[in-house]
Structure 1
Amino acid sequence: MTALAWRSLRTRPAAFLATALSVLLGTAVLLAFLTLLETGLADDVSAIDRETLVTMAGVVGGWAVVIVVFSVASMLGLGVRRRAEEFALLRTLGSTRAQVRRLVLGEAVALAVLATAAGVVPGWLLGRGVLALVREAGMVAPDVGHRIGALSLGSALGAMLLSAVLAGLLAARAATRGSAQDGLTASRGRRGRMGRWRIAGGLVLLAAGANYSVLALVVADPDQPYEVMSMAGPASVFWSVGLAVFAPVLLRVTAAVVAPVARRLSSGAPVHLALAHARRRSHDLGGVLSPVLVLVGAGTGTLYLMQIENLTATRPDDVEADAIELLNYLVVGMITVFAAIMVVNGTVAAIADRRREFAQQRLAGATRSELTATVSIEALVLLVAALVFGGLASLGTVVPFSVAKTDGWLSGSGPGWFLGVAAVALVVTVGTAALGTRRATAGPALRPQLG
């Protein structure tokens, strides 16, 4: 099975590109902030600079671990679901569950090794760039040099390889659940159910988010503003990732709720097909919904946290306050860029898997414009789910921080930042879906069928 895993990687590079890209980017993000940690722990760095760099690496790096590991696991799971029929056929030909699981795990490990190695140089460059930004902001001394060594390399590569192995194990179990005939039926119907481990993981993440929200409300000292911020800040990240674990369920609920309104606005075939696909393909589309939800929830929560902090700050020239502000904007930037790339990545992969479906629909009479409209409406349903549940997740940060700082639930929190995040999510989600569909349906309809 190890040899088969390597042949699968060599002969199907496009199928593994989305997962490889997520691992590469995850490695780069983790390594960048771990190099800040290694830089801060150097002997020739002052105590003040060490505290700044270690805090930045710990806070941003900790949030990055949660988001990156979840994204890698989601992409691996999406890739396995796309190949459910292939694995079911292997089992009907005599392969055992253990052999199929070794195949999936071998592919995940091989892919992770290659992608993490490719992410070292981007991570080193990103770390240098972040440190340069920190130096220009006056947060550390100008002579602090960037360092990369065994600590940062070992931690980043180890974390990504471990997450890939764990995700591969879970994906392998999902690929061999039930009988081979059940696998063939599920692959044709694109239906699936959430495993116990996934449900348990989602509940743990939601519990962590609730814990941070409660700590910010009742434990953190209001006279220590950065203590409140350190408690409230991670809350929206954990709430967002926890809800994203249940993305297939949230998508089905959203499709059922918006269906009556959508059908009143238009009774055409694209609306009908889009709503049906949102329910029937909820597990596949959930892989796209997850990063959008994280983008909306964590990004909105952090932006409003900074708005409330800026409105209530009493020490505008405080170097520590400037450091915290820069730290939070780095978090928002990291979440936005990484989540946007994951949205594009997942959307392109999901659309590429539907070329045969598009060809069959075109042979049945559907036009390219109708198919593009159908997929765009699917993306809109997905976006509604992300805005609703991501907005709820952001309240895990906004409400406790607002109460701690102003005694009000949403003090000074207008809709501006949320609308801005929604606009970014709209462009990335619907724009990628429309362009990807036009590209997937280019050329004769028979070409995907015969290829």
Structure 2
Amino acid sequence: MIRLALLSIARHRAGVVPTALVVLVGVILLSGMAGVMATGLAPSTPDDDRAFLVQFPAILGSWILGIVVFAVISTVGVALGGRTDEIRGLRLIGATPGQVRRMVAVETLVVSAVATIPGVLLGYGLGAGIVAMTASTGVISGTAPLAPGVLFPVVAGVIVIIAATVGAFVGSREAAGRSPVGEPSAVKRARAARPRRITAAVLLAVGLGSSMTALAMDPDSVYATAATGPGCVLVAIGAALFAPELLHLADRTLIVVLRKFGGPSARLAATNLRIAPARIRPAVTFLILFIGVAAGTLSMQAIENQAAASGSGIGQLMATINYLVVFLIAAFMSIALINNLVASIRQRQGELSVMSSVGATIGQSTRMLVAETTIATIIAIVAGLIGSIAVVIPFAILKTGSATAAFQGIPLLAVALVAGGIALLTTLASGTTTARAARMA
């Protein structure tokens, strides 16, 4: 199985790039947080700085680890979508679903181990930048030197490798368990989707429950943010896991409108999404996660600013933490979103080649792909913003006494525009390139 996995990596070098990039960025972020924590635990660190340098990376590191696992699961699922024939062939010659999943897990283990080496090295730079930035804003004194050591960043890299390998084993479940002959029945599809739906419901409940505990906190305490922040992440992941159901709901509402009033490309996109919604599911998944976390965190900071203006709140400390959280997680999710969009579009070169052979132009094929991404963006914006607002309402009540403060127009609009812009520009660029390659094939 190990030899087969190594041969598979050599055969699918381009296919492992998205997974490698997701792991690389995840290692950079987590090892950077580990370096900050090691600095906080160093004997030379002043006691006034120690609490922030230990607690902040511990909280943010747990968020990052959860998002990395989720991103790897989704990325592996997209990559396996382009290897359907290979997996079917393995199953036909006697490979069990467990053997296929172990092969994918070993592939991810090898790729993750290779990506971890530069990731840990770059993580040192990130940790130094975080310490320098927080010192420049006055959150810490900055008198103690950076002391990341070797153990903490390396352990962080190993944790990401293990998490990615487990995520790959979980993410390959559907592809490996699919019958090599025929399509699964509706009953089997519903049964296969049950664990995902249960997990999503649990994450939503835990996330909302975490945010509700903020009502019992002191308004001037950092623990209100510490309770609401993880709630944003958990609810976003839970909502993202419901992407297939959201696409099905959109098929009954939004896509009907496109069929009646859209142009040829929009109608073709609507038909594609009804027949094969899995093609655009990765975009919906990552967009919901991006929007949910970023919108929730920025709304929290806007509420904190209002509270500070009215004489309460903890001001600059929370601003530094929240903006740093948004920047790091948004950067990671942007890379994951772009990787998965490009990978899923490139897998459709055969489809675009057939369209070209029957007369479709490069522009028409690209507009179809952009229309699909537009649908995914609308779904993600609605789901992501609703989830973020629901999580932030208890925080808004605690800080301002009013639930309406959770509706922060400018942050929510900014996040929606950035997420939509990234998705649509990526689709336009990758779609044009792939459609041109398909026309020349």
**Structure-2 residue corresponding to 1:378:** 372
Matches within 5 A, 1:23-422: 23-182=23-182, 185=183, 194-217=192-215, 219-222=216-219, 224-266=220-262, 268-313=263-308, 321-411=315-405, 413-422=407-416
Deviation at residue 215 of structure 1 after TM alignment: 0.8
Instruction: List alignment gaps of at least 5 residues for structure 2.
Output: none
| Equivalent position SS for 1:365 | coil
Per-residue displacement from partner, 1:312-359 (whole Å, max 9, x unpaired)?
1169899x6322210010011112211111111111000110111100
Give the superposition deviation at 1:377. 0.6
- Structure 2: how far apart are the matches of 1:394 and 1:53? 27
Identity level (%): 30
* Match 1:441 to one of 419, 432, 435: 435
> Aligned-pair distance for 1:192?
9.3
Amino acid at match of 2:403: W
Question: Counterpart amino acid of 2:218?
Answer: D
CA distance in 2, matches of 1:7, 1:420: 45
Normalised by the length of structure 1, the TM-score is 0.91
Taking only aligned residues, the RMSD between alpha carbons, in angstroms, comes to: 2.2
Shift of 1:384: 0.5
Conserved in 2, the CA contact under 8 Å of 1:205 and 1:242? yes
Q: Is the 8 A contact 1:305 1:401 kept in 2?
A: yes
1:388-437 CA deviation, whole Å, 9 max, x = no partner?
A: 00011111332111111122112284421111111111210111111111
The alpha-carbon distance between structure 1 residues 194 and 282, as it changes in their structure 2 partners (threshold 3 A), is farther
When residues 400 and 98 of structure 1 are mapped into structure 2, their CA distance, relative to the original with a 3 A threshold, is: closer
Aligned residue identity for 2:274: R
- Indicate if the aligned counterparts of 1:234 and 1:397 stay in contact, CA closer than 8 A: no
Counterpart-to-counterpart distance in 1, 2:190 and 2:435: 27
Conserved 8 A contact 2:39-2:147: yes
Kindly state the Cα deviation for residue 278 of structure 1 after the two structures are TM-superposed.
2.3
**1:18 matched residue in structure 2:** 18
Matched ranges for 1:425-440 at <5 A: 425-440=419-434
Distance 1:122 1:220 in 2: 37
Q: Deviations over 1:51-93 (max 9, x none)?
A: 1111211222222222222112211122123322211112213
Rate the CA distance shift 1:444–1:384 in 2: closer, same or farther, 3 A: closer
Greater shift after overlay, 115-124 or 326-335?
115-124
Distance 2:116 2:435 in 1: 33
1:257 counterpart letter in structure 2:
T
Is the CA contact (8 Å cut-off) linking 1:60 and 1:327 kept in structure 2?
no
Q: 1:97 to 1:242 in 2, by over 3 A?
A: closer
Count of aligned pairs between the two proteins:
437
CA distance in 2 between counterparts of 1:125 and 1:97 reads 41
CA distance in 2, matches of 1:383, 1:430: 8
Q: Kindly state the Cα deviation for residue 443 of structure 1 after the two structures are TM-superposed.
A: 4.5
Shift of 1:237: 1.4
Structure 1 window deviating more from structure 2 (202-211 vs 44-53): it is: 202-211
Please give the secondary structure, in 2, of the residue aligned with 1:176. helix
3-state SS of the aligned residue for 2:405?
A: coil
Confirm or deny: 8 A CA contact 1:344 1:429 kept in the other structure.
yes
1:444 offset after TM fit, Å? 6.3
SS at match of 1:313: helix
In the aligned structure 2, how far is the partner of 1:164 from the partner of 1:253?
Answer: 31
- Please state how far the C-alpha of 1:150 moved relative to its aligned partner: 4.4
- CA–CA distance in structure 1, aligned partners of residues 382 and 192 of structure 2: 22
SS at match of 1:404: helix
CA displacement 1:251-292 (0-9 Å, x = unmatched) = 2222331023223432x3211221122233323422222221
